[in-house]
């Protein structure tokens, strides 16, 4: 348990959510929960940022957004969101720290993530190394030979590799940020699910008195 708790503590340092769309109408489904407008999009198992997308195979992922009246403060809690699958009682959203710790557990290391897209296909650059063609004392220096042309990738002319993305950190960073807010906020919600998604006939996101039909 110690390493799980440590993972939770480390991952809880970074939050941020997703980039909130300009209007609630920009979301696939939207409704009203009291004085808050709520929008949502069903992403099956995928989450990410930009071109970096990953799969959380044991979770259903929903991106949710909340828009308050101008200037009003409101609180976000993952436990306020739930899913109804095929009309059955709601499945409460999991804390993102626990989702990341769960997926990071060694028992899930076989294939916890599948990267869908993103990254830059660069070339390795070796700096340093042992001297080559070093002459004996008093012998003439070797004639420099022209270097072969370097194959520069069209999609990455600089040849500099991008830093690898940590999917566990990204999961927490893009989750909806809990706490007090006074402006629109959005992020991913994770609902533990190990069934076959093909068995899902109807899917509804429930938030307070709002019910959004995702499927």
15-74, pLDDT tens digit by residue? 479 999 999 999 999 999 999 999 999 999 999 988 889 999 899 999 999 999 988 999
pLDDT of residue 51: 82
Question: Cα(163)–Cα(171) distance, rounded to whole angstroms?
Answer: 17
CATH (domain of 82) = 2.60.40
Sequence-separated (6 or more) residues with CB below 8 Å from residue 169: 11, 14, 100
Rounding to the nearest 10 degrees, give the CA dihedral for residues 31, 198, 111, 64.
0
In a domain? residue 146: no
Question: Cα(81)–Cα(73) distance, rounded to whole angstroms?
Answer: 18
What pLDDT band is residue 4 in, cutting at 50, 70 and 90? very low
Q: What is the mean pLDDT of residues 178-194?
A: 95
In a domain? residue 18: yes
Question: Cα(147)–Cα(214) distance, rounded to whole angstroms?
Answer: 58
Angle between helices 96-104 and 2-11 (to 10 degrees): 130
Q: What is the mean pLDDT of residues 88-105?
A: 87
Sequence-separated (6 or more) residues with CB below 8 Å from residue 137: none
pLDDT of residue 50: 85
Question: Cα(68)–Cα(37) distance, rounded to whole angstroms?
Answer: 6
Sheet of strand 185-192, all strands in order from the earlier edge strand to the far edge? 29-33, 36-42, 59-67, 185-192
Sequence-separated (6 or more) residues with CB below 8 Å from residue 118: 48, 50, 51, 52, 53, 165
pLDDT of residue 52: 86
Pairing of strands 36-42, 29-33: antiparallel
Alpha carbon 192 to chain centroid distance? 16
What 8-state DSSP symbol labels residue 64? E
Q: Is the pTM of this model over 0.85?
A: no
Sequence-separated (6 or more) residues with CB below 8 Å from residue 107: none
In a domain? residue 174: yes
73-83, pLDDT tens digit by residue? 999 999 999 99
In a domain? residue 95: yes
Q: Residue length, the chain?
A: 215
107-135, pLDDT tens digit by residue? 544 444 444 544 444 433 332 334 444 44
In a domain? residue 148: no
175 pLDDT exceeds 80? Answer: yes
Using only C-alpha atoms, the chain has a radius of gyration, in whole angstroms, of 24
Domain extent at residue 63 = 2-118+164-213
pLDDT of residue 206: 96
In a domain? residue 179: yes
Mean model confidence pLDDT for the chain: 77
What 8-state DSSP symbol labels residue 188? E
Structural domain tally of the chain? 1
In a domain? residue 10: yes
């Amino acid at each position: 348990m110690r390493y799980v708790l440590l993972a939770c503590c480390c991952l809880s340092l970074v939050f941020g959510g997703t980039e909130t769309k300009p209007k609630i109408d920009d979301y696939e489904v939207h409704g009203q929960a009291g004085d808050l407008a709520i929008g949502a999009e069903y992403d099956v198992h995928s989450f990410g940022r930009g071109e970096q997308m990953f799969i959380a195979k044991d979770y259903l992922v929903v991106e949710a957004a909340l828009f308050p009246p101008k200037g009003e403060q409101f609180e976000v809690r993952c436990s306020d969101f739930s899913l109804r699958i095929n009309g059955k009682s709601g499945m409460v959203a999991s804390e993102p720290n626990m989702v990341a710790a769960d997926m990071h557990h060694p028992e899930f290391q076989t294939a916890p993530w599948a990267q869908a897209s993103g990254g830059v296909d660069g070339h390795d650059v070796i700096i340093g190394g042992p001297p080559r063609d070093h002459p004996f004392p008093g012998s003439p220096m070797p004639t420099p030979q022209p270097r072969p042309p370097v194959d520069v990738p069209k999609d990455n002319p600089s040849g500099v590799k991008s830093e690898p993305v940590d999917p566990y950190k990204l999961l927490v960073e893009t989750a909806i940020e809990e706490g007090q807010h006074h402006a629109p906020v959005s992020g991913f919600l994770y609902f533990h699910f190990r069934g076959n998604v093909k068995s899902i006939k109807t899917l509804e996101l429930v938030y307070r008195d709002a019910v959004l039909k995702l499927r």
